[in-house]
Amino acid sequence: MNTSARRTLVVVILLGMLLSGCQSTGFIPLTGDPALPTPHTPPQAGTPGTLRYLASQHGFLIGAAVDAKALQSDPKYAQTLSREFSVVVPENVMKFAEIHPSRQTYNFTAADQLVNFASANGMLVRGHTLLWYREDPAWVKSGNYNKTQLEQILHDHIATVVGRYKGRIFAWDVVNEALDDNGNLRDNVWLRGIGPQYIDMAFTWAHQADPNALLFYNDYNGEGMSAKSNAIYNLVKGLRERGVPIGGVGLQMHVTVTNHPSADDLKANIERLAGLGLVVHITELEVRLPQPANAISLEAQAQVYKDVIDTCLAEVKACQALVMWGLSDKYSSVPRIYPGFGSALILDPSFDPKPAYNALKDALSGK
C-alpha cells in the first residue's frame, strides 16, 4: 500500500471510531495492538526495611486488599497498611452492587476515602472489580432489560466508575471470574443478555474511560498449569487477537499449604501469559490454615508465600505485583468464607509479623 492509500485508510478508521464513539452503547472493536498504557508513576518507596521499601528496590509492587471500615476505624490498621504496602485494593467497596446500588445511584464515599488515603501516602490503587457475577446487582438481574439496555447499563457503569478515578487507579480488574471451574463462560446476566462479547465491550469501554489504566482479567484456580489456566489463557489470547485492550492477567491465589500450584507451574504460566504481551499480578494471595494454626503450619505457610514471591521476582518484568487479600488476620474474610480455616495472612491479629512476613522480607532482601 502506498503512503497516500495508507493515509486514507487511517483517516477512514479514525472517522469510523469517532462516529461510533458518539453512540454511547456502540461497541467499538479496537483493531491492531492495544496501546499499552504509559508507565504509571511509581509509588513512594517508604521507610527502609519495610516490605514496600524492599519491593521498590526491585521495581516490584506489594499490596493488600483493604477493608474500608477497618481503614476508617482502626488507626493501627491504617498505619500498618501505609508503612508496609505500595498498593491498595478495595476488598469490596468498588464492586458493582456496592458502588452502583440502583440504576441512577452511585455510592462513592468509601471508594473515594480509599483512593484519597492512597494518594496521601504515595501508594497506587488497583481497582477491583467492574464485573463479577457474584456482585451483579439485583436491580440489573431482575430488571428484564433487553440487549440494548444491558449494553447501555454496562457502558454507563464502566464509564462512570473508571472515569471518576481516571489517572488515580493504575490498574483495573475489569472482568472477574468469567470462567467456571470447567473453563466455560460462566452464566450471568451479561452473558445471557448481551452474549460473550460483553467481555470485549467491558475492556473497550474501560480503555475509553481511562486509556492509561492497565486492564486485567482476574480469576482463581488458574495460577499453575491446569485446565482452568488453559481456559484463561485461551480467553485472553482471543482478546489480544481481536485487539481488545487487555494489559494483564490477575492470578488470585486463594490457596492452602497442601493445595497450591508448584513454583515451576506458576513460572510456566507467567511466561506463557507474558508471551501474549501481558503482565501478571498476583492479586489475592492468602494461604489459609486449618484452625488452630501451630508453629509447623505457620512455617509451611511461610514457605508458600516465599515460593510465590521468589517466582515473581525471578520473572519481575512480567510479574509486577504481589497483592495479598488483606494485611492482618484480624480482618481476614477467610474464617467467614472457609469455615474451619483462618490465619491466612502475613500479620497476626495484633499486626505483629508472622513467619510469612519474614519470609517475604527475606526474599525481597535476596536471602
Active site residues: 177, 284
Nearer to ligand XIL, 177 or 310 (CB): 177
Instruction: Name the residue type at position 363.
Output: A
Q: Minimum distance between the CB of residue 27 and ligand XIL, rounded to whole angstroms?
A: 25
Gap between the Cα atoms of 320 and 263, Å rounded: 16
Q: For the chain, what is the radius of gyration of the CA atoms?
A: 21
Residue nearest to ligand XIL (CB): 333
- Answer whether 108's CB lies under 8 Å from 156's CB: no
Secondary-structure breakdown of the chain: helix, strand, coil percentages, each rounded to the nearest 5: 45, 20, 40
Task: Determine the Cα–Cα distance for residues 320 and 281; give it in Å rounded to an integer.
Answer: 6
Q: What is the DSSP string of 85-97?
A: -SEEEESSTTSHH
In whole angstroms, give the CA distance from residue 323 to residue 249.
13
Nearest approach in angstroms of CB 157 to ligand XIL is 17
Question: Binders of ligand XIL: how many residues, by CB under 6 A?
Answer: 6
According to CB under 6 A, which residues from 162 to 201 bind ligand XIL? 176
Our measurement of the distance from residue 206's CA atom to the centroid of its chain's CA atoms, rounded to an integer in Å, reads 14
Going by C-alpha positions, the residue among 152, 176, 146, 157 that lies closest to residue 101 is 157
80-119 residues near ligand XIL, rule: CB under 6 A: 91-92
Smallest gap from Cβ 99 to ligand XIL, in A, equals 13
* Positions in 229-258 near ligand XIL (CB under 6 A): 252
Enumerate the β-bridge partners of residue 289: 342
- Which residues 13-42 are close enough to bind ligand XIL by CB under 6 A? none
Q: CB 48 → ligand XIL: shortest distance, Å?
A: 31
- 333 belongs to the binding site for ligand XIL (CB under 6 A): yes
Least distance (Å) from ligand XIL to the CB of residue 325? 6
Give me the 123-162 binding string for ligand XIL, x by CB under 6 A, dash otherwise: ----------------------------------------
Please give the helix or strand (H or E) that residue 127 lies within, else none: strand 124-132
Bridge-based pairing of strands 248-251 and 254-256 is unpaired
Inter-residue long-range contacts of 47-50, CB under 8 Å, 24+ positions, other chains counted: 47/83, 50/83, 50/84
Q: In terms of Cα–Cα distance, which of 140, 157, 151 is closest to 197?
A: 151
Least distance between ligand XIL and beta carbon 305 (Å): 18
Binding mask 272-291 for ligand XIL (x = CB under 6 A): ------------x-------
The angle, 0 to 180 degrees and rounded to 10, between the axes of the packed helices 147-164 and 198-209 is: 30
Distance (Å, rounded) from C-alpha 244 to C-alpha 239?
Answer: 5
Task: Give the footprint of ligand XIL on this chain (CB under 6 A).
Answer: 91-92, 176, 252, 284, 333
